[in-house]
Amino acid sequence: MLLASAVVVWEWLNEHGRWRPYSPAVSHHIEAAVRAGPRAGGSVVLGQVDRRLAPYIIDLHSMNQFRQDTGTLRPVRRNYYDAASAPGQGVVWEWESDRGSWTPYDMDVGIAIQRAFETQRPCVDLSPVGFGYVIDFGTMGQINRQTQRQRRVRRRLDLVYPLAAGAAGRAASWPAAPGPPPPPAAAGPRAPPCSCPQCVLVRSVKAAAPPAPAARRSAAPPAAVEGPPAQGPGATPPDRAGAGQGPGKPAPSSQAIRRQASPAAAAAGPAGCPASPPGATGKAGRVALATLDRTSLQRLALAQSRVLIASGVPTVPVKNLSGSSPVNPALAGITGILMSAAGLPVCLTRPPKLVLHPPPVSKSEIKSIPGVSNTSRKTTKKQAKKGKTPEEVLKKYLQKLRHPPDEDCTICMERLTAPSGYKGPQPTVKPDLVGKLSRCGHVYHVYCLVAMYNNGNKDGSLQCPTCKTIYGVKTGTQPPGKMEYHVIPHSLPGHPDCRTIRIIYSIPPGIQGPEHPNPGKSFSARGFPRHCYLPDSEKGRKVLKLLLVAWDRRLIFAIGTSSTTGESDTVIWNEVHHKTEFGSNLTGHGYPDANYLDNVLAELAAQGISEDSAAQEKD
Q: What pLDDT digit, counting tens, does each position of 439-482 carry?
A: 899 999 998 898 888 877 788 888 898 888 899 888 999 999 99
CA atoms within 13 A on the CB side of 578: 24
Which SS3 state, helix, strand or coil, does residue 447 take?
A: helix
Topology of domain 390-458 in CATH is Herpes Virus-1 (3.30.40)
Topology of domain 6-164 in CATH is 3.30.720
What percent of the chain is modeled with pLDDT above 90? 31
CA angle, corner 188, sides to 185 and 194, nearest 5?
60
Q: Can you give the pLDDT at residue 28?
A: 92
Mean pLDDT of the chain: 74
Give 42-53 pLDDT, tens digit per residue: 788 898 888 888
What interhelical angle do 538-552 and 596-606 show, nearest 10? 30
Rounded distance, CA 327 to CA 50, Å?
27
Name the residue with higher pLDDT: 469 or 130: 469
Q: Can you give the pLDDT at residue 350?
A: 52
Tell me what the mean pLDDT of segment 271-284 comes to: 39
Out of 303-307, 334-338, 352-356, 442-446, the most confident range is 442-446
Rounded distance, CA 122 to CA 140, Å?
10
Dihedral over Cα of 194, 297, 30, 189: its sign:
positive
pLDDT surpasses 50 at 174: no
pLDDT band at residue 254, thresholds of 50, 70 and 90? very low
For 11, list phi and psi in degrees, rounded to 5: -135, 155
Rounded distance, CA 594 to CA 326, Å?
23
- Contact in structure between 459 and 470 (CB atoms under 8 Å): no
Q: Which residues of 350-367 are buried (b: 16+ CB within 10 A; e: fewer)?
A: ebeebbbebeebeeeeee
pLDDT band at residue 194, thresholds of 50, 70 and 90? low
- Contact in structure between 81 and 7 (CB atoms under 8 Å): yes
- H or E element, residue 616: helix 611-616
Q: Concatenate the DSSP letters of all residues of 49-69 into one string.
A: T-GGGTTEEEETTTTEEEETT
C-beta neighbour count of 171 within 10 angstroms: 14
Rounded distance, CA 338 to CA 77, Å?
25
Tell me what the mean pLDDT of segment 424-439 comes to: 82
pLDDT surpasses 70 at 419: yes
Q: Concatenate the DSSP letters of all residues of 511-550 into one string.
A: E--TTSSSTTSEEB-TTPSEEEEEESSHHHHHHHHHHHHH
Q: Where do the structural domains in the chain lie, given as residue ranges? A: 6-164, 390-458, 475-616
- Contact in structure between 182 and 220 (CB atoms under 8 Å): no
Range of weakest confidence among 9-23, 264-278, 603-617: 264-278
C-beta neighbour count of 407 within 10 angstroms: 10
Rounded distance, CA 124 to CA 149, Å?
16
Topology of domain 475-616 in CATH is Enolase-like; domain 1 (3.30.390)
